[in-house]
Amino acid sequence: MMSDRQDVKHAFPNVVTSTIGAAKRLIETFAQPWLVQLVLRLALAVPFWKSGILKWNGFLQLNDTAIDLFTQEFQLHLPGGPYPFPAPAVFAFLSGCGEVTFPVLLVLGLGTRFAAAGLILMTCIIELTIPDGWPIHLTWVAMALGIAAWGPGRISIDYLLGDRSFRS
């Protein structure tokens, strides 16, 4: 009888260990680097694209709302401020261009590291404009840093052009 208890006592850790091992192998099967890199690019592109597309009436034609936001609503929260944006029409135009161009580059995987760096810069400016949004801004920067560090992955034009600096 004592022997049966010892067998059960030793079998339990083995079952737990093998179950954890099986779960780990399953996760590793799905979390392939190329898939993670693709999903990061798509996930980061979405919020910027959605914001950027609302700023345009047509090709290179900003709508009045975009300019009004930078003229009347948005302010830079710097020490001693907040301060109005200098040249609000220019900032609105640059913002609209970046919010549309960088996501397209990310989705295509073309100039991916450049696009990620551009979105990091944009996120820093957004943080100065909307400081209470830091939790989501931190998420955007983390995704962009991951893309910049590990590259676009196999499913990208950059990969086809030779950007294989990280195992994808």
Residue 83, beta-bridge partner list: 76
Domain ranges in the chain are: 1-31, 32-160
* pLDDT class of 125 with cuts at 50, 70, 90: very high
* pLDDT class of 148 with cuts at 50, 70, 90: very high
Predicted TM-score of the model (pTM): 0.80
User: Is residue 142 a contact partner of residue 119, using CB atoms and an 8 Å limit?
Assistant: no
Assess whether pLDDT exceeds 70 at residue 28: yes
Assess whether pLDDT exceeds 50 at residue 168: no
Given this model, what pLDDT does residue 23 score?
A: 82
Given this model, what pLDDT does residue 61 score?
A: 84
How far apart are alpha carbons 30 and 91 in whole angstroms? 41
Burial of 10 (0-12, 13-18, 19+ CB in 10 A): exposed
Nearest to 121 by CA among 146, 145, 153: 145
- The three-class DSSP label of residue 109 is coil
Given this model, what pLDDT does residue 60 score?
A: 81
Given this model, what pLDDT does residue 48 score?
A: 97
- The three-class DSSP label of residue 73 is helix
Assess whether pLDDT exceeds 60 at residue 155: yes
Q: Which is more confidently placed, 163 or 135? A: 135
Using CA atoms, how far residue 42 sits from 39, 49, 140, 157, 163, in Å, is 5, 10, 12, 14, 18
In the predicted model, what is the mean pLDDT of the chain? 88
Given this model, what pLDDT does residue 8 score?
A: 54
| Cis status, amide bond into 13, omega within 30 of 0 | no
Point out the least confidently predicted range of 1-10, 51-60, 141-150, 151-160: 1-10
Q: Which is more confidently placed, 21 or 106? A: 106
Question: Cα 111–106–66 angle (5° rounding)?
Answer: 110
Alpha helices in the chain (DSSP H): 2-30, 33-53, 64-68, 88-108, 112-129, 134-150, 157-160
Assess whether pLDDT exceeds 80 at residue 162: yes
